[in-house]
Amino acid sequence: MEFAFDLSAAVAVIATLLAISSLDPVHALLYLIVSLLAVAMVFFAIGAPFAGILEVIVYAGAIMVLFVFVVMMLNLGRAAVEQERRWLTPRVWAGPAVLALVLLAELLHVLGRMPAAAGIGEGTIGARAVGAALFGPYLLAVELGSMLLLAALVAAFHLGRNE
């Protein structure tokens, strides 16, 4: 379990790093899909198979395909890669990298002082338990989620019109 977790965590970090530093949007999207699949593997390793399956189907399967379709519709080509190369100079990303590293170091410091090492991944929380909780105490959240999706549908339809 720990082996699978560490390996897929390393894959996720490397793929995310390549995704945010890639010049071509298509390459970045494909790296991001690899990263999401690695996170799905992490979910399987820590005993949350339903979350892992949803990560593969919805995140990597639906949202990323939406991104790929939009990139195909934009039809960017070579000029966009050249523009990215001009934008992504070390002077641009050095400052944000230092700031993000400082925040990450603080977080790691706080996590290092956490008292006892609590174990995860002992049991499995399957789809049955998740579904029972989802349509029991969390029913109102499901309804609110459906309203949110409806609002997003109307907004995307309105904004995507070709007037």
Cα–Cα distance between 62 and 66 in angstroms, integer?
6
Number of residues that bind another protein (CB under 8 A): 83
* Least separation in angstroms between CB 78 and another protein: 15
* By CB under 8 A, residue 25 contacts another protein: yes
Residue 1: DSSP 8-state: -
Type of residue numbered 17 = L
Out of 37, 39, 41, 56, which residue is the one contacting another protein (CB under 8 A)? 39
Q: Is 24 in the site for another protein (CB under 8 A)?
A: no
**Euclidean distance between CA atoms 128 and 126, whole angstroms:** 5
- List the structure tokens of 73: 């519709």
By CB under 8 A, name the one of 27, 30, 77, 96 that touches another protein: 96
Q: Which of 7, 30, 61, 121 binds another protein (CB under 8 A)?
A: 121
Is residue 30 a contact residue for another protein (CB under 8 A)? no
Query: Shortest gap between Cβ of 121 and another protein (angstroms)?
Result: 5
The structure tokens listed for 126 are 């399957």
Q: Does 78 bind another protein (CB under 8 A)?
A: no
DSSP state of 47: T
Q: Write down the residue that tokens 């339809």 correspond to.
A: 157
User: In angstroms, what is the minimal distance from the CB of 147 to another protein?
Assistant: 10
The answer for residues whose C-beta is within 8 angstroms of residue 37's C-beta and 6 or more apart is 55, 56, 60
Q: Which residues contact 54 (CB under 8 A, 6 or more apart)?
A: none
Interface pick for another protein out of 41, 87, 140, 143 (rule CB under 8 A):
87
Using the rule CB under 8 A, is 139 a contact of another protein?
A: no
